[in-house]
Structure 1
Amino acid sequence: MYKIVKPLFFSLNPEAAHHTVTGGLQRFTKIWGAKSLLKNLYTVEDKRLEREVFGLKFKNPVGLAAGFDKNAAYIEEMAGLGFGFIEIGTVTPRPQPGNDKPRMFRLVADEALINRMGFNNQGADVAAGRLKRLKNKNGLIIGGNIGKNKVTPNEEAVNDYIYCFNALFDYVDYFVVNVSSPNTPGLRDLQEKAPLTHLLNTLQKLNEQKESPKPILLKIAPDLTDSQLDDIVDIVRDTHIAGVIATNTTISREGLQSEDALVQEAGGVSGKPLTKRSTEVVRYLATKSNGAFPIIGVGGIHSAADAIEKLEAGAALVQVYTGFIYEGPALVSDICKGLLKNK
């Protein structure tokens, strides 16, 4: 079915296509029987798929990565497509429009995307309000990916993360600290050891004051050197955060086959060109830490084989985004079925 409509979607600007698809899905699920139909088509339920990671029980190990549902507007709709968990955001304290359009580009020859969205979102309070009104999670795990506003200087960034943490705390199951997007000026500087340790320690102290602390994860870039990845292992150990998401988009353009005009667009690359490197980062972290903390593997997962490769490299869970766009909604069930066959 998706192969039939995919050319239509791909004839639209990528951002327009996203809104067309999500809006259409939202309207479709309001039709009587539509949710049951989607569940029958795309949800694989099997006890063997369940995972317990950082104290949370996941129905299956396949999640929707941050960036797809920035404002927690499509939780129930995406849950109906079989995801075991959904990560909203990146959310910032105040609403912001993001970077100028166009800001997302398809590299069809590479089965990839370039995006420079710039944390466009409606703000932490809007996302929290939607999550508060969520009627039934049905065991779905929801993560909150948090960042800083573009106008906030790095020396004050910790305050933005604190605001988002407090706003979302009652409504998400885990947090992700995003300091790895290439699309907010200076953000990746926060990945350096001293500022990152300070940020994570501050959030952990807040977390420990709560009656039921939430797992805090760190999302990292694929462009870090081995030395920087060694620092990440040390930081996770020293701050006692729950784990790492590897990886965000890459600023590398190595090996891309698409036309130069597209390849040279500013932004982060996601999709198949990221498959190998993100798996390398997962494997390096798992090996270097001796499996001391859980890793969520994301980047270039377009098939069950890609997901299995991430898991065998040391990931406890996986997330999809660009692969979901290229392969369609059956990707989640295909991965789940592949995992069951691989048992």
Structure 2
Amino acid sequence: MNPSISQKERIISLDIIRGLALFGILFANVRGYPTFTEDPIVLNYGGINHLIDTLIPIFIEKKFFSIFSFLFGVGFYIFASRAESRGDKPRWRFTRRLLALFFIGVLQLGPYFGTILPAYALIGLLLLPFYKASVSTISKWLGGITGIYIVSLILRIAFGDSAFLEYIGNDQTLIFIMFLAGFLVAKADWIRRISELKKPIYWIQLVTLPIFIGFSIWIWVAPDHESNYIIALGTIPTFLFYITTLFLLMENKAIRTLLKPVARVGQMALTNYVSQSMIGLFIISLMGMESPPYMISPVHVVVVACLVFIFHLIVSSIWLKFFKRGPLEILWRFMTYGKQTIK
């Protein structure tokens, strides 16, 4: 970030942002943890439930998993470049890492069918051709794919859905956009130069903040059958506002110190993501909300999400006092490298 911030502190900052992304993902995923045998019953909530049910799509839905996806792209470049510096084969090593992630994700399908890990692994393969590409080339591809994605969403809102528009304007496309954006930012070394880039960052915030406000109002008043497309359309500008704000906040040492426990959650991101669904479902069962589905109200979503995150804060802090990595991170590393020693 700025020259006075060490490499270790930069990694901590990324872990803090990753931990916050996991917290946001909880709010979006809690209702999907139980597996129901009946069709879900949709209720029209009032009072505080209605407020929360409106605020989650505005501030959280798709935004935090976009941040998480962006950091995956950052991680790909860091991982591959380190592998290359050791004389390893970066593309092959990352492919093996993705295959391991796919395997872990498939195992998670049992307790939580909504896991994103298998999709992450498969979409991550699309990053391999970009490893040796220039920043300029990656930027052009990113701009083109993002443009197609945005146009497809606008057409879906204006003229209705179609198989073709759904194919090019879905969540998988958004994930790849975020992967590629994270990879570009890491390759261009912008994360290390936040202090130098404050002026363009402020301009990004100046442009995206009113767009975010506009989409928030639109989502608030939009009919339910249109809201999903509007949420998706507003995700990229909202993501840009969020991620630039977070990077600027991480420049402040006091804030980094205050949020250091969150960094431990982010450091164990794979373990904590996989365990979210199991811990959340356990809490839901204890509260008697696992069936029927309409009993998981927006207030319950907030309660469960906060309880799971508090659990992760405590357990991650304790675990990392004795181990360098989380349990699934250790497994993932072994599946990536085998028994060879990696510094």
TM score, norm. by length of structure 2: 0.30
TM score, norm. by length of structure 1: 0.30
Whichever of the two has the greater Rg, that structure is 2
